[in-house]
Amino acid sequence: MKTLAYLHISQHVDPDNPTMTHGEERVQQYLDGFSKFFEYPGLQKLDVLIADNTITEDRPLDSRIQNLISSHECKIILCDNNQGKQNKGIGVLEQWRYCRDTILEYDWIIHFEPRQLLISFDFFDSFFEDPRNLFNEQEGHFWTGLFAVSPIALIDFVDNHSLDRGQSIEYVLYDYIKDRYELDTIDKLNLAWNDTYQNTWVDM
């Protein structure tokens, strides 16, 4: 079974957006998130892809992040799809589309956003005990910071969707997947998510 850990990051974001961390604070959150992820004892079960959709020649990936991930065997896909400025979900969707061929090489995808900090690896352990579409379900939407999905389901969603500026990918993905594919839900992801707007960390 081939499983890809798809780690989605966006280092360079709009500095005027109050719902996002920026600059040094954001880089440090990624360094902490990557460091914890790479402590996963079952890391050998995964191929790791790091995808950043905000990188240009003038806005490179921070050297500290480069140094950290270069000490591990990772695929790295860097581009600037310029869509996240409209809506974070549009940027994520376009990056999945950009990585389509790589995603389809695998049996399973674990999508993780490493600005979050893993408290434990319970989600990964649960998935590998029983590989399946696995989501944390909120009220009418999925938490897209960490989930597992078959490439067929993910690319089916990608091929059949575009998002408007006012739409949330978490709700649109939920509406599409839940009616078409078998899935399981997990109550606790055991990670900490930074709510920038409220300036607090939230246990998920």
- Each domain of the chain, given as residue ranges in start order, spans 3-203
Question: Global pTM?
Answer: 0.94
Tokens of 16: 């005027």
144 exposed, middle or buried (CB, 10 Å; 0-12, 13-18, 19+)?
Answer: buried
The pLDDT of residue 83 is: 58
| Long-range pairs for 157-161: beta carbons < 8 A, 24 or more residues apart | 158/93, 158/96, 158/97, 158/100, 161/93
pLDDT in tens, 92-137: 999 999 999 999 999 999 999 999 999 999 999 999 999 999 999 9
Q: Which of 195, 193, 166, 180 is nearest to 90 (CA)?
A: 166
Element (H, E) at 120: none
* Rounded Cα gap, residues 104 and 2, in angstroms: 11
Distances (CA, A) of 174 to 50, 75, 87, 119, 122: 24, 28, 17, 25, 22
Side-chain half-sphere of 163: how many Cα atoms within 13 Å?
25
Query: Given pLDDT bands bounded at 50, 70 and 90, which one contains residue 199?
Result: confident
pLDDT in tens, 152-193: 999 999 999 888 888 999 999 999 999 999 999 999 999 999
pLDDT in tens, 78-90: 877 665 556 688 8
Mean pLDDT of 137-153: 96
Mean pLDDT of 63-75: 93
CATH number assigned to the domain with residue range 3-203, chosen from the 4 options 3.30.70.3290, 3.90.550.10, 1.10.600.10, 3.30.70.360: 3.90.550.10
Sheet holding 108-112: strands in order across?
Answer: 74-78, 46-52, 3-9, 108-112, 146-149, 134-135, 184-185
Q: How many CB atoms lie within 10 A of CB 78?
A: 15
